[in-house]
């Protein structure tokens, strides 16, 4: 038999856990979200340019360019952080509100 809490609901059912603090100003967050969404579109173009450059480097030099690869890793981390912020999974704002690569 499952135990009930003080409200009479089954333990572990009913209410979702409150894990996020209330937002102080949702309109300001919305503005930041708009800027981050636009920056993500720019990042798509930048990563395509980096991919074309890396491909050209591999064709002519017969090896990968370490700087382009490192930039791709950093861009991927930024995109992940930006997506988490946009989805509301994190309140940590991505670059340019934080340092690049953190």
| pLDDT digits 0-9 by tens, 81-101 | 999 999 989 989 998 888 887
pLDDT in tens, 58-77: 999 999 999 999 999 999 99
Q: Which residues of 23-62 are buried (b: 16+ CB within 10 A; e: fewer)?
A: eeeeeeeeeebeebeebeeebeeeeeebeeebeebeeeee
What pTM value is reported for the model? 0.72
């Amino acid at each position: 038999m499952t135990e009930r809490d003080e409200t009479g609901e089954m333990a572990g059912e009913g209410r979702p856990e409150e894990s996020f603090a209330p937002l102080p100003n949702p309109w300001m967050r919305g503005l930041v979200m708009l800027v981050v969404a636009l920056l993500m579109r720019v990042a798509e173009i930048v990563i395509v340019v980096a991919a074309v450059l890396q491909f050209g480097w591999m064709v002519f030099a017969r090896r990968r360019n370490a700087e382009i690869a490192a930039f791709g890793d950093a861009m991927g981390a930024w995109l992940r952080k930006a997506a988490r912020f946009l989805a509301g999974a994190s309140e940590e704002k991505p670059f340019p509100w934080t340092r690049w690569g953190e």
